[in-house]
Structure 1
Amino acid sequence: MATMAASNTRDVGPKDLGLRNNSSTKIDLANIADVPYYVEKRYVRAVDENGDEFQYEEVPVEEFYDDDKEETLDALIRNVKDQQRESQVIPTTTSASISRGSLTTEPEAVDDFVRNFLVRMGMKKTMQQFQVEWHNLSSSGRIKTNEAGYLPDVVKHNEELSEKMRLLQSEVDRYRKSAEKAREEFIKMKKERDYHRQHHNRIAQEKNNLVTFIKRLKSHLSTYEPQLDELKTKYDSAVREKMLYKLERDKMQSELNALKLSTSTSYQNNTEGSLGSTQSKLRELRLKEEKKKVMITDEQRRLTGSMDDTNQSNAQDSEFPTDTGNNPYLNRFAEDAFHRSTLTLAKELLAHEGPISCAAIHPRKHVAITVSDDRSWKMWAIPEGDMIMKGEGHADWVSGVDFHPSGNKMATCSGDTTVKLWDFSQKKCVHTFTNHLLPVWSVNFHSCGDFITSASQDKTVRLWDLNSLRCRMVMRGHQDSVHSAEFLMFSNIIVSSSVDKTVMLWDARTGLAEHTYAGHANACNQATFNLRGDAIASCDTKGVVKIWDVRTVKSIVTLDFGPYSANSVSFHPAGQLLTTASGDRTIKLYNIGSEELIPLSSHTDEVQYVKFDLKGQYMISTGRDRTLRIWS
């Protein structure tokens, strides 16, 4: 059984075993299972160069099953050694002349087919019974094994076709898996193509917008060329006249000196008269010269757009406080006592019906104000969460808010291009500033309480005087929309951030830009001072936060919280902790000293604004989920 299961190929035919000869061989039926058998017969024929087949002598069964195993084995070993010695004597040409034999396959017989089938099915008991019955019938002569015949070709053909079908099915499965994998790759590539196509369309749209803007800017600049040429002509003529006046003055001065030397006492009165006339001429020349200078200055201011009511003096204008450099809040924070373990969500308020864009904390009380896209502002008690007051008045979304240092007033800005001043004691808006041309993004009070700074989409930062109720200064320098403007506490310095990827420092007294910080690769959303005033934190639309050294005008720390936008940034009053409102619905807490980053996840939508109170006791956050959250 084991021999048959191992292979269908053999070197000895069924005649050698006597399975088809019913008269020559007798086998013990008790040991029939131990008799080796083979189910397929193959003959090896060797053909020489002339095509004649070699003749092989048939080995009798009696000699094959000889009991004298040892003599047969010794004789076989001797024959092998003799053949090896003879092969060494035979020339190489003789061995090369013998060709290899050919292998032919004889068709499978009926009994072999039955045996193969039983072996494949694992029916060993049936196989043993079949062997016994077949031998008994063949030995009694009732079955002639030499006339049993072979299986028809159609059976083998069917088996070959079945095997081929199995192979083809495996190939189909493999190709199906390959096709499924190719389909997944195709879908992935298609999605990538759509993404890149959308990105390309967006870039093309931005490019078209930039081209249109550049054309408008060129046409706008072309209108200034004639005026500049005229101004230059006037300036050249004024310089020439000035030189002529100077030459005439020198000439008259030399004449006067000559008259002084040549006059005598008799002509003293006449000389004094001529001297007076000369001095009067000189005074006239000086007046003309000063008038021309004033005319040139006025013309320059008119052409550059700075000649408006902001440069006109007013008796009610406030005086800028002197910069003493003293900040009373610094003494409160000798060390950073703000730890992560104490920062937990204390209160969550559904404050507005629309996204909350900004918030402010009262300078002395536990009160906060929120402003929203629903055009209203609300005042809340901290941490109870009770609403104290509500106000409406803007015609569009409200984008910024800040408390007056005294706490009895506040200012708001809106998409309706206005800045409103609210008085809590009168419970109404007491004044509206309307000089901005486009939406206003942020407002901030000076520490003295007499000035407000605002940042607008019209690329300007404006300074408002609360005593004269007018615009005192227009700061132009940014090339795109200005998103934030903030005073350094107890100072006249303003920091602003813009879509042009820059952060700028301004002197509020002169309206001049002192420094420009360039390093962001994307539009800046906000810039703020720390309490000491020696560092500025700025954030942009790709989540990059930079900390700048005010003294060296360099970036000292760069943090990448992207790819989502960083909408707001705030320093803890102690200065070692920085918090950022992120577009991925989290608040990023960063310890500058230990470089530890801790995300706070509570908001269900984009976080718009974060702010610490001046005492460092709690933090507030707002977002597009219309909630105000208090962290303590």
Structure 2
Amino acid sequence: MAAQQGMADSALRVLEEALGMGLTTSGDTADAVAAEGAFYLEQVTITEASEDDYEYEEIPDDNFSIPEGEEDLAKAIQMVQEQATDTQILEQKTVLSSKPAAPEAIEDFLCNFLIKMGMTRTLDCFQSEWYELMQKGITELRDAGNVPDVYTQNMLLENENKILKKDLKHYKQAADKAREDLLKTQKERDFHRMHHKRVVQEKNKLINDLKGLKLHYASYEPTIRVLHEKHHALLKQKMLTSLERDRAIRQISGLQETLKHMEIGHGVYAPELRVVPNCEKENAPEGPTQKGLREAREQSKCKIKMKANTKDSEFPTNMQPNPNPCLCKENICPAKFDYKLNNIFRLHELPVSCIVMHPHKEFLVSCGEDRVWKLVALPKGNVLLTGLGHTDWLSNCCFHPSGNKLATASGDTTVKLWDLFKGNCILTCEGHTHAVWSCTWHSCGEFVASSSLDTTSKIWDVNSERCRCTLYGHTDSVNSIEFFPFSNTLLTASADKSLSVWDARTGKCEQSLYGHMHSVNDATFTPRGYMIASCDACGVIKLWDFRKLLPIVSIDVGPSPSNEVNFDSSGRILAQASGNGVIHLLDLKSGQIHRLMGHDSEAHTVVFSHDGETLFSGGSDGTVRTWS
């Protein structure tokens, strides 16, 4: 653009000089200029020739021939396409950029004007300077484009004005939206500020109320301390009184026995000794001591009468170690590990804590944390009976050996016995001070054992409806309890990382097994009773030889906790319910571990069917899943 502007200025200067000099053109001047070697345009007349007289020359194409046949036709099409492609490439390469039109027009105009005006010297100066610059390459001819006129300029300005108006409209809309957002934000800020002030006021008020309550409570502390001291004194006095009462009852019982022997040995003197004092003091007032002795005597009579009416059960002594013929070697079914998820029973609203199989029929009972147990018929999962009565979650249940009764343990510190024919509770055993974790029936069906969070286990007599014995020894929660099959031996698993073997007749601990590094959650016997399996809160499973009371093997399937372990009817497969929802199956013969994936959440319990063809598991989602 700068070069073109310079050229235009030079042309204008030449025109001004020519006009100032007032020179005129003539034929001699033109001839002189031509003789001096100047170049200028000549007028040439072009005659229009007729198109009919024009002869077209045909150019033969020797390079193209059409081959014959289908293959030759394909080759011909390919050749035509290649020639078309080459033509396009040549056209693209041979396209010449258009020369700038404006500089040549200005040059022609100046040259014609100077020749027409006869300004030869000016033309010589212009041409010499112009071509010198062109040869030196100082002046570059660039495409200056068309010189815009007023109309085009107005159109450009109008378009620019429209674009600016459109942008202005958008900016106004954005400004309005920003203004609305600002107002909304300010309102929200004011609302939150007021809410914050109200919360601060309420907090200050609560702080003041709390201070007042603390002062008020502090004023009651001396009174509470005095009441605690009085309470302890009364408890001590009550204990001493109960001891005196028991001593007096024993004395009265001894006197009554002495009188009874005197009546038997000396029939003459007993009536006299009994009747004469009563006759002498028939009308005498009764003092407080005599009144207390009389009440104690009546209470002892009532207790003696109750003891005479109640009959405690006796532990059997001649029990067979293996009365079940299905456990013989020739009846053992082959091990099965290819279990697949078959069905899902949604029985509870809260997690399932325990599943047990009926000893003789195709029924199962599931206990849940929704305080309900349900008797379910297999394989369809129809609910036959529902038990309601506990006031807190159920933790465990166990069938009576006959299958007619059910024992349930609960977090309400009780053990309940249920009659499955009537569907009602027939006995509630109360005595634990904390939640009961587990319960089990003795093989004779006369005793129920329970374990609790209060670090104790209890043996309940069903006939006399009382606690026959309390097992002390564990230092932490007793999580599991089970009778050795057809014996009077109990096995307990505790959170103090130990297993204990007890004699149910004496309540003494015969042996303790140590080896777990974490809380033992469950322990069970094999159906033939020669082996013990236990699991802890870190996923470690241990097998113990019950005859030697020594560990056999330890298997780690953690780190998820093991909630329960159970053997199949043959005792060759051990199933474990894990906290990560996986059911582990341990082959005791080969040592291989198989995993069943199907629970969406934690698995709490697992049990085999009697024939070992089906596996049942309960999870924290309230469902019972069947695997077959």
Query: What letter corresponds to residue 506 of structure 1 in structure 2?
Result: W
Root mean square deviation, CA, Å:
2.5
Query: What letter corresponds to residue 379 of structure 1 in structure 2?
Result: L
Q: Distance in 2 between matches of 1:336 and 1:598?
A: 18
Q: From the superposition, tell whether residues 316 and 576 of structure 1 become closer, same or farther in structure 2 (CA, over 3 Å).
A: same
Q: Check the 8 A contact 1:422/1:428 in 2, yes or no.
A: yes
Query: What letter corresponds to residue 319 of structure 1 in structure 2?
Result: E
How far off its partner does 1:330 sit? 2.0
Number of the residue aligned with 1:469: 465
Q: How does 1:175-190 map to 2 (within 5 A)?
A: none
Q: From the superposition, tell whether residues 313 and 551 of structure 1 become closer, same or farther in structure 2 (CA, over 3 Å).
A: farther
Q: Check the 8 A contact 1:333/1:574 in 2, yes or no.
A: no
Number of the residue aligned with 2:488: 492
How far off its partner does 1:617 sit? 3.4
The DSSP-based 3-state class of the residue aligned with 2:445 is coil
Query: What letter corresponds to residue 334 of structure 2 in structure 1?
Result: A
Q: Distance in 2 between matches of 1:631 and 1:452?
A: 31
Number of the residue aligned with 1:452: 448
Q: Check the 8 A contact 1:327/1:489 in 2, yes or no.
A: no
How far off its partner does 1:347 sit? 1.9
Q: From the superposition, tell whether residues 542 and 324 of structure 1 become closer, same or farther in structure 2 (CA, over 3 Å).
A: same
Could you list the per-position Cα deviations for residues 99-127 of structure 1 after superposition, in whole angstroms to 9, with x for gaps in the alignment? Answer: xxxxxxxxxxxxxxxxxxxxxxxxxxxxx
Q: How does 1:323-472 map to 2 (within 5 A)?
A: 323-328=319-324, 329-331=326-328, 334-341=331-338, 343-472=339-468
Q: Distance in 1 between matches of 2:558 and 2:515?
A: 16
How far off its partner does 1:345 sit? 2.2
Number of the residue aligned with 1:230: none
The DSSP-based 3-state class of the residue aligned with 1:437 is coil
Q: Check the 8 A contact 1:501/1:518 in 2, yes or no.
A: yes
- Write out the 4+ residue segments of structure 1 that deviate beyond 4 Å after TM superposition: 312-315
Q: Distance in 1 between matches of 2:390 and 2:359?
A: 24
Q: From the superposition, tell whether residues 553 and 377 of structure 1 become closer, same or farther in structure 2 (CA, over 3 Å).
A: same
Confirm whether residue 531 of structure 1 aligns to residue 527 of structure 2.
yes
Q: Distance in 1 between matches of 2:609 and 2:445?
A: 18
Q: How does 1:248-397 map to 2 (within 5 A)?
A: 316-322=311-317, 323-328=319-324, 329-331=326-328, 334-341=331-338, 343-397=339-393
Number of the residue aligned with 1:553: 549
Q: From the superposition, tell whether residues 335 and 500 of structure 1 become closer, same or farther in structure 2 (CA, over 3 Å).
A: same
Q: Check the 8 A contact 2:454/2:477 in 1, yes or no.
A: yes
Query: What letter corresponds to residue 488 of structure 1 in structure 2?
Result: F
Q: Check the 8 A contact 2:603/2:618 in 1, yes or no.
A: yes
Q: Check the 8 A contact 2:336/2:613 in 1, yes or no.
A: no
How far off its partner does 1:338 sit? 2.6
Could you list the per-position Cα deviations for residues 537-561 of structure 1 after superposition, in whole angstroms to 9, with x for gaps in the alignment? Answer: 0000000000011122221111101
Q: From the superposition, tell whether residues 530 and 434 of structure 1 become closer, same or farther in structure 2 (CA, over 3 Å).
A: same
Q: From the superposition, tell whether residues 467 and 553 of structure 1 become closer, same or farther in structure 2 (CA, over 3 Å).
A: same
Could you list the per-position Cα deviations for residues 510-563 of structure 1 after superposition, in whole angstroms to 9, with x for gaps in the alignment? Answer: 111111110000000000000111110000000000001112222111110111
The DSSP-based 3-state class of the residue aligned with 1:340 is coil
Q: Check the 8 A contact 1:506/1:512 in 2, yes or no.
A: yes
How far off its partner does 1:498 sit? 0.4
Q: From the superposition, tell whether residues 558 and 490 of structure 1 become closer, same or farther in structure 2 (CA, over 3 Å).
A: same
Q: Which runs of 5+ in 1 are unaligned?
A: 1-140, 144-222, 228-308
Q: Distance in 1 between matches of 2:329 and 2:460?
A: 31
How far off its partner does 1:592 sit? 1.1
Q: Distance in 2 between matches of 1:332 and 1:485?
A: 28
How far off its partner does 1:315 sit? 5.2
How far off its partner does 1:615 sit? 3.6
How far off its partner does 1:331 sit? 2.2
How far off its partner does 1:313 sit? 10
Q: Check the 8 A contact 1:531/1:574 in 2, yes or no.
A: yes
How far off its partner does 1:572 sit? 1.3
How far off its partner does 1:346 sit? 2.6
Length-normalised TM-score, structure 2: 0.50
Query: What letter corresponds to residue 414 of structure 2 in structure 1?
Result: T
How far off its partner does 1:314 sit? 8.4
How far off its partner does 1:334 sit? 4.4
Q: Distance in 2 between matches of 1:503 and 1:613?
A: 27
Query: Percent identity at matched positions?
Result: 43
Confirm whether residue 595 of structure 1 aligns to residue 600 of structure 2.
no
Q: Distance in 2 between matches of 1:547 and 1:313?
A: 46
Query: What letter corresponds to residue 320 of structure 1 in structure 2?
Result: F
| Among candidates 567, 580, 583, match of residue 579 of structure 2 | 583
Q: Check the 8 A contact 1:454/1:463 in 2, yes or no.
A: yes
Q: Check the 8 A contact 1:336/1:575 in 2, yes or no.
A: no
Query: What letter corresponds to residue 606 of structure 1 in structure 2?
Result: E
Q: Distance in 2 between matches of 1:413 and 1:370?
A: 12
Q: How does 1:558-569 map to 2 (within 5 A)?
A: 558-569=554-565
Q: Distance in 2 between matches of 1:338 and 1:377?
A: 31
Number of the residue aligned with 1:28: none
Q: Distance in 2 between matches of 1:393 and 1:473?
A: 25
Could you list the per-position Cα deviations for residues 139-193 of structure 1 after superposition, in whole angstroms to 9, with x for gaps in the alignment? Answer: xx989xxxxxxxxxxxxxxxxxxxxxxxxxxxxxxxxxxxxxxxxxxxxxxxxxx
Q: Distance in 2 between matches of 1:355 and 1:332?
A: 38
Count of residues paired in the alignment:
329
Q: From the superposition, tell whether residues 331 and 402 of structure 1 become closer, same or farther in structure 2 (CA, over 3 Å).
A: same
Query: What letter corresponds to residue 395 of structure 1 in structure 2?
Result: T
The DSSP-based 3-state class of the residue aligned with 1:617 is coil
